[in-house]
């Protein structure tokens, strides 16, 4: 055989060529025909091969995913990288910014030697780019458009999780919500809930629940004490109106790029149970509102659930079942969910089984528990050509073990990957720039100012006065001579006055929302008031 007949070697194929064998087979598993997100380049035997691009098919992002790794391993930059490319493909994104360093998505990145070096290593054509962002804050704390929920729409299941109630107390809280729904008592903020609880253990209110089990004074006391402690943590601002409409998360910018909604959480990072449960409310509300669409060529929204372990810690069996069912079913509504945490063992097995796209950053094995978590993580991956126990403890910052669902729905080969550099600013923007962006947002005028209208607290507080007035009116009617009774014309005028009165409108509104809530409570007991 002549020299010209020899098969080409890696050197003949050029600097981007992959070595024959497992590396080429792994790279072939990521050669998708349709739109895909570029994560980075294949690492094999310690060498980065830009010819082996590791990617995620855009149409598979509603099959959910997991981004995991030890602190400092690069999870936040991975979120930033994925969010940028989703936005560029016209897909809206929701991100929880716990540490306060994701606001840089809105500004072009800074060129430099390290960025150019990384781009060259992974075959990236890096261009500094800012992306359309909307910034939100939980209850108005910190920067961002305030995100509030009414107590009614938040529901008893999620509220019980926040208040750390036991199963018996959670059932009693559900009974309180059931009563408020049935009576049209709107629970807008926490004082409304406190008023209903106090009423149901009073002499006047105790008979109301007698037929369906009642509410013990001891349980009511526990709930009221939990609410008091919750309010002392500054939680009152998270519940109220105007309530945030989660449809705001599905917007695209005028240039067609998806809007990245960034929930700024540094001001409440010392209340992790609160913000993780609020994130679950947002997801449950989306699940409740969105129609079934089946499999799309791209998701309607990708939702990143940061600090996911806080959601699952101490959760009841029923709560975990609700999460599992929500994650399973929301895929068909065009929403992809990525859980972000340190190790896969932080996520229950039934939820983990639904996370087809995996980006696992470095893990450390300094203690026996760490070593156990490392072995458990390795068992969650498909069989691979790598020694994953060794690889996972040796990954550098910005490197990860990746497996995703291919275009056929089958898992791709496990690929150790050097990730691309984000094109937006890797760090926070200045406070002045952030504040300006918030005030310029189209939702600022709708949500910035809290509203406290008539609800359960005011209605219950007015009960004695209303009863006295009604009795006095009845007495005067009986004392009135027959000939002095109003004519039909007068009665018609009186009807118009009553129908036009604020009290009648309030009652009608309550009846309408009562009917809506009883029909539309979701898996988590959440509800959306329909206007």
Structural contact between residues 7 and 30, judged by C-beta atoms closer than 8 angstroms: no
Of the candidates 351, 287, 283, which has an alpha carbon nearest to the alpha carbon of residue 315?
351
Q: Which residue has the tokens 């009617």?
A: 477
pLDDT for position 16: 64
Which structure tokens are listed for 208? Answer: 């109301």
DSSP-assigned letters across all residues of 70-104: -TTSSHHHHHHHHHHHHHHTT--EEEEESSS--GG
What percentage of the chain's residues is helix, strand, coil (to nearest 5)? Answer: 50, 15, 35
Burial environment of residue 22 by CB neighbours within 10 A (0 to 12, 13 to 18, 19 or more): middle
Q: In sequence order, what are the beta bridge partners of 68?
A: 341, 360
Fold of the domain built from segment(s) 14-148+241-447? Rossmann fold (3.40.50)
Structural contact between residues 89 and 411, judged by C-beta atoms closer than 8 angstroms: no
pLDDT for position 215: 86
- If residue 134 lies in a helix (H) or strand (E), which one and from where to where? strand 133-138
Spatial neighbors of 138 by CB under 8 A, at least 6 apart, are 146, 147, 238, 263, 265, 267, 268, 274, 275, 278
DSSP-assigned letters across all residues of 310-371: HHHTT--HHHHHHHHHHHHHHGGGTEEEEEEES-GGGS-HHHHTT--EEEE-----SSHHHH
441 Cα distance to chain centroid = 20
Structural contact between residues 169 and 160, judged by C-beta atoms closer than 8 angstroms: yes
Residues 388-423 have pLDDT tens digits of 999 999 999 999 999 999 999 999 999 999 999 999
Burial environment of residue 271 by CB neighbours within 10 A (0 to 12, 13 to 18, 19 or more): buried
The span from the CA of 124 to the CA of 176, in Å, is 57
Which structure tokens are listed for 349? Answer: 């097995």
Residues 267-312 have pLDDT tens digits of 887 788 788 888 889 988 998 889 999 889 999 999 998 888 888 8
In the chain, what are the domain boundaries? 14-148+241-447
Give the up-direction half-sphere exposure of residue 304: CA atoms within 13 A in the CB hemisphere: 27
Structural contact between residues 148 and 244, judged by C-beta atoms closer than 8 angstroms: yes
Q: Which residues of the chain fall short of a pLDDT of 70?
A: 1-16, 464-525, 527-531
- If residue 500 lies in a helix (H) or strand (E), which one and from where to where? helix 488-500
Spatial neighbors of 262 by CB under 8 A, at least 6 apart, are 95, 97, 102, 103, 105, 133, 134, 135, 136, 144
Q: 178 to each of 32, 109, 288, 514, how far by Cα in Å?
A: 51, 51, 19, 10
Which structure tokens are listed for 471? Answer: 């009795």
pLDDT for position 465: 52
The span from the CA of 529 to the CA of 531, in Å, is 6
Structural contact between residues 137 and 510, judged by C-beta atoms closer than 8 angstroms: no
pLDDT for position 523: 64
């Amino acid at each position: 055989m002549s020299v010209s007949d020899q098969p080409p070697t890696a050197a003949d194929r050029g600097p981007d060529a992959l070595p024959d064998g497992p590396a080429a087979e792994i790279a072939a598993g990521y050669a998708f025909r349709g739109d895909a997100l570029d994560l980075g380049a294949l690492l094999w035997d310690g060498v980065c091969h830009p010819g082996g691009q590791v990617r995620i098919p855009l149409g598979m992002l509603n099959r959910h995913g997991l981004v995991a790794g030890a602190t400092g391993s690069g999870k936040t930059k991975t979120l930033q990288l994925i969010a940028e490319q989703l936005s560029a493909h016209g897909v809206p994104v929701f991100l929880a910014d716990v540490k306060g360093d994701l606001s840089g998505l809105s500004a072009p990145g800074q060129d430099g030697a390290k960025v150019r070096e990384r781009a060259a290593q992974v075959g990236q054509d890096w261009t500094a780019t800012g992306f359309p962002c909307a910034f939100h804050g939980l209850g108005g704390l910190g920067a961002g458009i305030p995100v509030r929920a009414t107590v009614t729409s938040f529901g008893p299941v999620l509220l019980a999780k926040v208040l750390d109630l036991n199963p018996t107390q959670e059932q009693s809280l559900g009974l309180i919500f059931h009563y408020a729904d049935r009576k049209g008592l709107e629970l807008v903020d926490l004082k409304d809930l406190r008023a209903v609880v106090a009423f149901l253990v009073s002499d006047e209110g105790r008979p109301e629940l007698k037929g369906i089990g009642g509410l013990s004074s001891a349980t009511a006391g526990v709930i009221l004490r939990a609410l008091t402690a919750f309010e002392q943590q500054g939680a009152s601002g998270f519940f109220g109106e105007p309530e945030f409409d989660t449809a705001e998360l599905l917007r695209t910018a005028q240039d067609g790029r998806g809007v990245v909604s960034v929930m700024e959480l540094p001001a409440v990072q010392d209340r992790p149970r609160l913000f993780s449960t609020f994130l679950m409310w947002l997801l449950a509300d989306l699940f409740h509102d969105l129609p079934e669409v089946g499999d799309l060529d791209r998701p309607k929204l990708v939702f990143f659930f940061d600090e996911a372990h806080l959601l699952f810690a101490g959760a009841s069996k029923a709560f975990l079942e609700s999460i599992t069912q929500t994650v399973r079913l929301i895929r068909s509504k065009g929403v992809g969910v990525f859980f972000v945490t340190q190790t896969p063992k932080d996520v229950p097995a039934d939820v983990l089984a639904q996370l087809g796209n995996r980006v696992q950053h470095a893990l450390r094995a300094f203690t026996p528990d760490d070593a156990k978590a490392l072995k458990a993580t390795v068992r969650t991956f498909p069989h691979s050509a790598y020694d994953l126990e060794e690889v996972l403890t040796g990954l550098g910052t910005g490197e990860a073990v990746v497996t995703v669902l291919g275009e056929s729905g089958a898992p791709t080969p496990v690929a150790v990957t050097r990730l691309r550099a984000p094109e937006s600013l890797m760090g926070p923007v200045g406070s002045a720039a952030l504040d300006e962006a918030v005030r310029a947002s189209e939702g600022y005028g709708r949500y910035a100012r809290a509203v406290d209208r008539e609800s359960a607290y005011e209605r219950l507080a007015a009960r004695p006065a209303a009863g006295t007035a009604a009795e006095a009116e009845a007495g005067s009617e009986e004392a009135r001579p027959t000939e002095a009774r109003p004519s039909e014309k007068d009665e018609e005028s009186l009807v118009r006055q009553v129908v036009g009165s604020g009290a009648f409108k309030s009652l009608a509104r309550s009846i309408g929302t009562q009917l809506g809530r009883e029909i539309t409570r979701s898996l988590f007991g959440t509800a959306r008031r329909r206007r």
